[in-house]
Amino acid sequence: MDRKGVLTKLLAVVGTVLVWIPILFTVLTSIVGTISSGVFRFDYLMPAELFPIAFVGALLLLWAARRARSHQKLIGWGFGTAVAFLGSGQLYAVTSGLASGATEPTGWAWALVMASIALYSLALVVIGVAGILLVRRVHFSQ
């Protein structure tokens, strides 16, 4: 496989863009919402809601990393971590009653679910940075 082929470059760029979309949309809507309402607005659930986009992007990055033989571990571990944090947080929210509203959003249950969403978002940032490094590698290294 040609590590700098057109397909590898395309996979790396598209994957990186897709992984960053949940984070960038969250920041962008927060800025626009805050400016238009005059009150701080931040939808901390948006990265989780846009998981399918990040999932496809991470898969494309894994494919590109495998073709380029570069950054495979960082992208793979970041992807696995993101899925684990989001999945376990959602599972706990459902089993604890937070997701249905049966349990008040307070205490340890709430903190645990919020921490899982924050760590999922951090894992997305790690994958996104790895994607940028991969793009740099396949486009600009000799």
CB-CB neighbours of 84 under 10 Å: 14
pLDDT at position 64 is 94
Q: How far apart are CA 77 and CA 75, in angstroms?
A: 6
Q: What global pTM score does this model have?
A: 0.89
In a domain, 66, yes or no: yes
In a domain, 71, yes or no: yes
In a domain, 1, yes or no: no
Q: Hunting for tokens 């290294």 — which residue is that?
A: 141
Residue 122 has pLDDT above 80, yes or no: yes
What burial class does residue 96 get, using C-beta atoms within 10 Å of its C-beta: 0-12 exposed, 13-18 middle, 19+ buried? middle
Q: How far apart are CA 123 and CA 79, in angstroms?
A: 7
Convert the pLDDT of each residue in 69-118 to its tens digit.
Answer: 989 999 999 999 999 999 999 999 999 888 888 888 888 989 999 999 99
Q: How far apart are CA 6 and CA 110, in angstroms?
A: 46
Domain that holds residue 120: 6-140
Mean pLDDT of the 19-42 span: 94
pLDDT at position 104 is 84
Residue 141 has pLDDT above 80, yes or no: no
CA distances from 28 to 14, 46, 51, 115 (A): 20, 11, 17, 22
Mean pLDDT of the 115-139 span: 95
In a domain, 10, yes or no: yes
Residue 1 has pLDDT above 60, yes or no: no
For residue 4, the 8-state DSSP code is T
Residue 35 has pLDDT above 50, yes or no: yes
DSSP string covering 37-81: HSS----TTHHHHTHHHHHHHHHHHHHHHHHHTSSHHHHHHHHHH
Residue 2 has pLDDT above 80, yes or no: no
Split into its structural domains, the chain has a count of 1
Q: Please, what is the average pLDDT of the chain? A: 92
pLDDT at position 12 is 95
